[in-house]
Structure 1
Amino acid sequence: MDLITFAIPFFLIAVLTELALDRWKGWGVYRLNDALGNLSTGILSRTLGLTYKSLFLIIYLPLFQLLQPYYQAVGFNWSLNNGWHLLLAVLAYDFCYYWKHRLCHEVNVFWAEHLVHHQSEDYNLTTALRQSSGGLQLDWVFYLPLLLIGLPAEMVIAAGAIDLIYQFWVHTQKIPKIRWMEWLLITPSNHRVHHAQNQVYVDKNYGGILILWDRLFGTYQEELEQEPCIYGVRKPLNTFDPLAANLQHLKRMAQDAWYTKNWWDKFTLWFRPTGYRPADAEAAMPVPSTDLAHFQRFDPQIRRGLRFYAFAQHLCYSTATLALLWYYQSLASGALLTIVALLVFSLVINGRILDNHPLTKYLEPLRLALYAGGLTLLNAQFVPILAIYITISALAWGWLAISGKEDTVAVVCD
């Protein structure tokens, strides 16, 4: 099990602790729909990651072998068992991460993938788990310089996991500035700046562990008391569907490339500065930016029963994901792809339930029917559990459908 998968239970315990404190103290930093949207995007990232090979490893490993004579001549001999080696590997990785992160904010095609992490209009520990599914696999290029110092792939992966795990704790509003840390490390305060869409905060504080890189390369911005952070992105997602979250900017760029009549723009808009759109495409399909002076979070109101249903389903999907991450290596590729596809479909529908989308009244019964059809793919020991789950879910959804119709019927009095 990799470090990040091992850390997931601890992440969830921390989220539940912050949530309990939020409810007890009345902070108001958690909304059910936004939190489930964040967690669903994290689940999508981990499950889809099981279905394809890492392009980083496909490219890095052969190059590492090719450079072995150079490493032997120089004397590079890194070891995961050496604490100092691991510390140096993390520092080198974090330097590369800074430039990757910065380019992700500055170039359209990189932003298409990284945007996912910034879409949440709340800021709490669930935001840390809101990760891109990485389908484009573009970030490997930023870590190739680590070949120059002979860093083995397993150390790059370990350093990357440490870098990502560190970043979890800084996604909170309830830890104030820590003066001695602000000069050297990423903290909750200077990372709140990074997630804010206020003009003064945009494209600042890119470091993963060290804020030192931002101070050195001119991208540091302190959190200002007179400028409260407004979280989210200028062109809001307005759905809790995790698949739509991953496709938001990619879809817009593809539409622009299709509609623009300028052939140069068709091929280059992907690599232009973030937000660039051909003039004719923008005129045909305007996408207004958020008015920060009158900012309102996306917060569709749904019935309490639907909220409880979506929450209960999410708990089931989370449990299934943890089991999948533990046992996926024992599954045949066809079974793995089927399970992942069903999970993705489920997460999409659950997000749309939170959106109050009308099509969910048809899609949720379809999902349960597909689950029933998938009973034959399971080991016999799991069939009763899934059968009970399908039955309870079907009864609950049926009751919600009936009670929903009753709510829409006008009462006529004689």
Structure 2
Amino acid sequence: MKETVTQFFNNLGLFSPLDFTDPVTYFVPGFILLILGETFLYQIPQKLFTKKLVKDELSSVGLGLGAMFLDFGMKAISLSYFFWIYNHLRLTNFFGIENFSEFFTLKWQLEHWWLWILVLIVQDFGFYWHHRLSHKIRLLWTGHVNHHSATHLSFAIALRQGWFEIIYRDIWYIPFVLVGFHPIMIAMMHQINLIYQFWPHTNAIGKLGWFDKIFNSPSNHRVHHSRNISDLDKNYGGILMIWDHLFGTYKAENKKIEEYGILHNIQTHNVFHIVFDELGNLIKDVKSAPNFKAKLNYIFNAPGWRHSGKDERIATLQKNSN
């Protein structure tokens, strides 16, 4: 079966995703255990296990399953152009792997431990900007808004991955491949980052002191998913919070967050409606734009921009609320 699938992708001139060992696969049982543990040890005892929560979580699982299939195909495409750039355009060999067969040996890993730390830093930096721009550019928001459309926060909501976002999320790592970081290391660190981001999606874990200031945590991520105007567009880091501190987007959790979701929550749990809702809104807005400049603003300006009427961009709302 593996040979057939690999041959199929190779005939298309693409890297076979089956040749990439995805670390997420090994954590799926852990994800399931955490979801069950949160349900029986926190949500049910706290009387939080409502029909609305269950619907949010089931739609999140549906989005996650769809994202899994899309991700399988996109790995073939992204790793293919990563390898082409690495083999033909890379600027240095300093960060590379001379003999890839050595990569899987304990000796190579022990000698190059520092490289993994460096890859973690640069990949998380790339993720920060991917995440931030996905909130700041309407076209990219159509892919990311799916993740924020749940009105609850739980481990299951972490599975709520945007389908369109999968198409463009890897382009942010091209500069690192160009510099000479090996595609497999970048791809593996992206998945490790994704694994890490599972556990901050919960209300069951409180503040963690100094840890919250340095790393993404449940406290930091509750702020990120909050519907409060002052909390919106904060805490973009995947693993590290240093980027948010550096670029002025960090906000500590200073009060209990009561509402999650987006500015105008959608009233459906239909997976396909969730996926295509904001894209449909964008298309309608572009069609209604009075001129070409307005059309471009609807596509590339921040969500909430209007050619007439109330400006609902987050920066404007936050400025007006002060």
Q: Normalising by structure 1, what TM-score?
A: 0.63
Larger Rg: 1
* Inter-partner Cα distance in structure 1 for 2:285 and 2:170: 26
Aligned to 2:279: 250
Task: Determine whether 1:36 maps to 2:55.
Answer: no
Structure 1 pair 123–23 and aligned structure 2 pair: CA distance change class (3 A): closer
Aligned to 1:263: 292
* Inter-partner Cα distance in structure 1 for 2:209 and 2:80: 43
What is the 5 A alignment of 1:176-215? 176-215=206-245
Stretches of structure 1 that go unaligned for 5 or more consecutive residues are: 290-414
Which AA in structure 1 matches 2:45? K
Structure 1 pair 47–194 and aligned structure 2 pair: CA distance change class (3 A): same
Q: Return the match for 2:249 from 219, 222, 226.
A: 219
* Inter-partner Cα distance in structure 2 for 1:125 and 1:189: 14
Residues 55, 140 of structure 1: 8 Å contact kept? no
Aligned to 1:57: 79
Structure 1 pair 48–77 and aligned structure 2 pair: CA distance change class (3 A): closer
Amino-acid identity (%): 30
Name segments (4+ residues, structure 1) moved above 6 Å. none
Q: Return the match for 1:45 from 54, 67, 76.
A: 67
What is the CA-CA distance between 1:148 and the residue it aligns to?
A: 4.4
Q: How many residues align?
A: 280
| CA offsets 1:356-387 (integer angstroms, 9 cap, x no match) | xxxxxxxxxxxxxxxxxxxxxxxxxxxxxxxx
* Inter-partner Cα distance in structure 1 for 2:57 and 2:42: 13
SS in 2 for 1:25: coil
* Inter-partner Cα distance in structure 2 for 1:136 and 1:160: 12
SS in 2 for 1:138: helix
What is the CA-CA distance between 1:183 and the residue it aligns to?
A: 1.6
* Inter-partner Cα distance in structure 1 for 2:28 and 2:183: 23
What is the CA-CA distance between 1:262 and the residue it aligns to?
A: 1.7
What is the CA-CA distance between 1:244 and the residue it aligns to?
A: 1.5
Which AA in structure 1 matches 2:67? S
Root-mean-square deviation over aligned CA pairs: 2.4
* Inter-partner Cα distance in structure 1 for 2:195 and 2:65: 16
* Inter-partner Cα distance in structure 2 for 1:76 and 1:17: 41
Task: Determine whether 1:173 maps to 2:198.
Answer: no
* Inter-partner Cα distance in structure 1 for 2:116 and 2:43: 40
Aligned to 2:95: 76
| CA offsets 1:172-198 (integer angstroms, 9 cap, x no match) | 101110002012111100110000010
* Inter-partner Cα distance in structure 1 for 2:127 and 2:22: 20
* Inter-partner Cα distance in structure 1 for 2:184 and 2:238: 19
What is the 5 A alignment of 1:278-289? 278-279=307-308
Which AA in structure 2 matches 1:220? Y
Structure 1 pair 255–28 and aligned structure 2 pair: CA distance change class (3 A): same
* Inter-partner Cα distance in structure 1 for 2:224 and 2:165: 24
Q: Return the match for 2:39 from 19, 28, 31.
A: 19
What is the 5 A alignment of 1:99-248? 99-134=129-164, 137-225=167-255, 228-248=257-277
Structure 1 pair 53–141 and aligned structure 2 pair: CA distance change class (3 A): closer
| CA offsets 1:252-294 (integer angstroms, 9 cap, x no match) | 1111112223232234421111222333xx79xxx9x9xxxxx
